[in-house]
A and B are shown apart, each in its own frame.
Chain A
Amino acid sequence: MKSNGAQILINSLQSEEVEYIFGFPGGAVLHIYDALDTQDEIIHVLVRHEQGAAHAADGYARASGKPGVVLVTSGPGITNAVTGIATAHMDSIPMVVISGQVPSPLIGMDAFQEVDATGITRSCVKHNFLVRDINEIASTVKKAFHIATTGRPGPVVIDIPKDITIEQITPKSYPKEIEMRSYKPTVKASNRQIKKAAELILNSQRPIIYSGGGCVIGNASNELREFTRMSGFPITQTLMGLGAYPGSDELSLGMLGMHGTYESNMAMYGADCVIAIGARFDDRITGNLDKFCPNAKFIHVDIDPSQISKNVVADIPIVGQVKQVLEVLNEELKDKKLQDISKWWSQINSWREVDSLAYRKKSGVIKPQTVIETLYEVTKGEAIVTSDVGQHQMWAAQYYMFDEPRRWINSGGLGTMGFGLPAAMGAKLAMPEKDVACVTGEGSIQMMTQELSTMLQYSTPVKIINLNNGYLGMVRQWQEFFYDKRYAMSYMDALPDFVKLAESYGHMGILVEKEADLKPAMLEAFKQKERTVFVDIKTDPTENVFPMIPAGGAHCDMLLAGRDEMVSKDETDLNAV
């Protein structure tokens, strides 16, 4: 029996066990939608904007570990999705995006809704394909899923001209395996390098584990826990890595970098051995590279060879899957005697006493930090929390202790405002039994409010925690510190009534203006198991995120809350440790 290209595509997606497609129809993909309509294995989620589709697929992928799938039409369909694709690319999220293209004979003729989709997405995907032949649809889908999910994961775009979806052939069975001579992601790390790393670890006096998103994406949380507990080393996690190691554990120093804790950054500055696991030495982590970890030797474990020695030269590079590397390393270190690092711990504990996340409450205003602490308390630390981008993102990362991986979902690399709400919808579809909260601000949420409509249609009850301070807070903070308090365009007039907005979309809205109402409002919101609740919380408009390392500063140059002067502990005598 013959099938058309659209049916072959949908059958291929079924073979890949796709549960959800997030998409929006249009001329070039009408045949694909027609084929989707005749089956019920895959559920299509009709978003309200293609950027929302990409973010929702991304949230689904981050929460479940499975690739997210997006379907958009040609032209504006794919260009709208680009921000979401770039977001997934920067954070190494497995995603397959299918975009319609104008019919093959019209390509290059400036046809209606034509853009060069592979050209536009080239620099923000792991790979992309333009399918030229109906016989290549199935193998291309197979390759796309293989590439998206192996090695360092990432988004793959498949652009399919409309005529290819109409053409008919007798299809072959879906390929079980695919062999690509040009793509062989490294999987097994060199044992010799791991032995060298073990030797350095055994001899270090002031070690620190610096773990990143690779431990979450690479499902290496258990191995990381074993390594950390066996060694008794302090661990600091990046924004992307939070939860791989429990944030509430005593060995955890919290997040590091620009808004990291005092103890994390000082320990990085003072360390003699930095064990970087699935992290990429991003500029928001390192600050000034010339003053970054001045006394340390670096062990760097990453699946992507191009990350090693890109920003910081690794003394012991290990290319491999973090999970496998840690398994071998743990075996290597078993029953070996480590150095006594009690002096190092007492130094770290004295940094901890600075209590860098302390903040002063003011009567009459709700502190944003209190909101996150309340959210943590009400959800018992067990919710999946997505966020948008800005101050609220940093407060969520600092004050919500993530004890499990895949609970903290945010756009760390690209920093995409508007990510939080659709990502929460995707996460809720992936984990329907979990509470999902979207921590956002009045600036970010307005970039994606249309998805409230999708959330009603597909019953994805999410709790939106809106830290409404009336400012684009992170912009305002930088203007306060670095632009003599000239607040250019960081204040938004004419905000909507978010309660009414939520209600108009069929959801529930709660306005919170007093701290006393905060906890009851959150309890009420999470009691509503079947409904999306928008909790609009008026927070202190002048609050800033601390600690802070100004861009280009060193880890020892931190601004702390309630202090006018920069705290510099450069003079700490580390040799005494």
Chain B
Amino acid sequence: MRHIISVLLENETGALSRVSGLFSQRGFNIESLTVAQTNDPGLSRMTIVSTGNDRVLEQIVKQLNKLIEVVKVSDLTSQDHVERELMLVKVCPTSKDELDIKQLVDIFSCKIVDVTEKTYTIEISGKTKKINAFLNALDSAIIMEVSRTGVTGISRGKKAILK
């Protein structure tokens, strides 16, 4: 089963490699990993998407908690949450594709953020499934490159990771 794990950790050099090292060392799977500083400059927040059964997930959470720099670990999947991923995709449509692209951008409520004579760069955000659907809807022959952030997430309502 797919899990979204939020990790709050000290913003120190080497902290990221401790986490990624833990996953490779123990054979845990990483689908995506995003990390950036939070409103507290001393803390980073990492969102990891992993797959595994309940026992694997229990070990992932326990092993993450064991890392000295980790302040808090939370499995977002087990609670009501919002998840988002952002993708930038650059396409080079022929003139007859252009209309299709504009329609797709409308349907998926995304944005064209850069246009040149021969290319469009499109920004789309949403759940992973939506992004996959958009990518599938595009003609693969016109896709020049794709850059995805991986999933980030946050719980809904009053609950916060540290409270």
Contacts and interface: CB of A to CB of B under 8 A. Distances in A.
A123 B21 contact: yes
Given A118-B14, A127-B68, A182-B71, A305 B25 contact: no
Interface in B3-40: 9-10, 13-14, 17-18, 21, 25
B70 A122 contact: no
Interface of B: 9-10, 13-14, 17-18, 21, 25, 55, 58-59, 62-63, 65-66, 68-71
A310 interface: yes
Interface in A320-379: none
A182 B62 contact: no
A74 to B, nearest CB: 17
A183 B68 contact: yes
Contact of A309 (B10, B21, B55, B70): B55
- Of the four ranges (under 10, 10 to 19, 20 to 34, 35 or more), the interface on chain A belongs to 20 to 34
Contacts of B70: 182
A206 interface: no
Nearest to A307: B62
A130 interface: yes
Contact of B21 (A122, A132, A183): A122
Interface of A: 118-119, 122-123, 126-128, 130, 132, 147, 180-183, 304-306, 309-310, 313
A313 B13 CA distance: 36
A343 B22 CA distance: 47
A273 to B, nearest CB: 22
A122 B17 contact: yes
B58 A309 contact: yes
Contact of A119 (B17, B58, B59): B17
Contacts, number: 37
Contacts of A130: 13-14
A257 B138 CA distance: 59
Contacts of A181: 71
B39 to A, nearest CB: 16
14 contacts: A118-B14, A122-B17, A122-B18, A127-B68, A130-B13, A180-B68, A182-B69, A182-B71, A305-B62, A306-B62, A306-B63, A306-B66, A309-B55, A310-B59
A235 to B, nearest CB: 28
Contacts of B68: 126-127, 147, 180, 182-183
A313 B14 CA distance: 33
4 closest A-B pairs by beta carbon, nearest first, are: A306-B62, A127-B68, A182-B71, A183-B68
Nearest to A128: B14
A304 B66 contact: yes
Contacts of A147: 68
Nearest to B162: A181
Contacts of A128: 14
Contacts of B13: 130, 132
Nearest to A132: B13
Contact of B10 (A123, A132, A182, A313): A182
A180 B71 CA distance: 9
